Amino acid sequence: MRDEDIASKYENCLICPRKCGVNRLDGGRGVCGMGSEPVVNIYSLHYGEEPVISGTNGSGTVFFEGCSLKCVFCQNYDVSRGTTGRGITYSASELAKVYLELQEKHAHNINLVTAGHFIPTVAESVAIAKQQGLTIPVAFNSGGYESVDSLKLLEGLVDIYMPDMKFFSSSLSGQLCGAKDYFEVCCEALDEMYRQTGPAVIGSDGLMKRGLLIRHLMLPGQLFDTKKVLDYLCGRFGNNAYISLMNQYTPFEYRYPDMKLPDFLQRKLPQGHYAAAAEYLSILGQENAFLQEDASGDELLPDFKT
C-alpha cells in the first residue's frame, strides 16, 4: 500500500466499527483516542499466552496503545486509553524492524496486540518485514470488534487470529463498552478471519501455525451469557478453531479509583461458574479448548510503561 493510500485511511477514519469519521491526520481523536501513527507501549518475549502461542521461547508481543472498544473492566486500562505518555511512535518500516528483532530473539511468532485502530500501517509493516526476512507466523490479537473491510487489508499477511468474543447480550456489551452491536460485529469479523486462515493448524512442534484461537473471558454473574457465546462458537467453528475459556477476571477498581464498575463486576468469578462453563464446552463436543487454573489478571500482564 502506498504511503498516500495509508494516510487516506486516517483522514476520514472508518477503520473500526465505530466509524467516527474524524481526521486523525490532523490531530483528531476518535473513540480509540489515537492519532494516525502507531504508538507502542512495549514489545518483548511474552510467556502469558496459550501454550500453542507462547511455547518455550515466548511470543514476540507488540503492545499497541489505544483501543476502540474501551471495556470498563480492561486490565490494561492506562495502555488501552493511550494515556500513559510512555508509548513510542513507530512508522511502518520501524515496526518491521521490531518484528525482525523479536524473530532474532527466537520468538515463536509476532503477536500484534490491540492493533485494530492502526490496521493500514500495521498491514504495511508486516508486508515490509516479510520482504526483509520475517518467516515466523504473525498473529493479530484483538478484542473481536473489528471492521471486515479493515481486516481484508491483512489478508495474506496474518497467519493466526486471536480474537475475543466477549459478549452475547447487546445490553451487556452496551453497558460495558458502549457497543450494543458487539456480538453482530464480532460474528462478521470472526467469519472474515476464518475465511482468511481456514481451520487451525498445529505444527509438529506443538505450536500454532495458522487459524483462529478465540478467547472468552468469563465475567462474574454472566454464566448464561458465556453459555450463549460458547453455543455460537462451537456451532459455527466446532473443532476447526481453538477456544480459550478464561477465568482471570479481577476487579480493578482498586487500581483506578475514578472508574466506577457495575456492582456485579466488583467481585471475582465464582469458580463453580468456571467449572460449569468448562463442562458445558465438553458437552458441546469441543476438543480444542484451553482451560485455566486459578490466575489473576496481574500475573499474566507484562510490565507496561505507565
Please tell me the distance from the alpha carbon of residue 137 to that of residue 131, in angstroms, as a whole number.
14
H helices of the chain, where? 3-11, 51-54, 77-80, 92-104, 119-131, 148-151, 170-177, 182-197, 223-237, 271-283
Whether the CB-CB separation of 196 and 178 falls below 8 Å is answered with no
DSSP tag of 247: -
Please tell me the distance from the alpha carbon of residue 163 to that of residue 193, in angstroms, as a whole number.
9
Q: Name which of 113, 118, 121 is nearest 143 in CA terms.
A: 113
| pLDDT tens, the chain, 306 aa long | 667 789 899 999 999 999 999 999 999 999 999 999 999 999 999 999 999 999 999 999 999 999 999 999 888 888 888 777 789 999 999 999 999 999 999 999 999 999 999 999 999 999 999 999 999 999 999 999 999 999 999 999 999 999 999 999 999 999 999 999 999 999 999 999 999 999 999 999 999 999 999 999 999 999 999 999 999 999 999 999 999 999 999 886 555 666 678 899 989 999 999 999 999 999 999 999 999 976 545 556 677 776
Residue 45's DSSP bridge partners are: 60
Helix%, strand%, coil% for the chain, nearest 5: 40, 15, 45
What per-residue confidence (pLDDT) applies to 142? Answer: 97
Does domain 3-300 fall under CATH 3.20.20.70? My reply is yes
The b/e string for 247-267 (b: 16+ C-beta within 10 A; e otherwise) is bbbbebeeeeeeeeeeeebee
Please tell me the distance from the alpha carbon of residue 10 to that of residue 35, in angstroms, as a whole number.
8
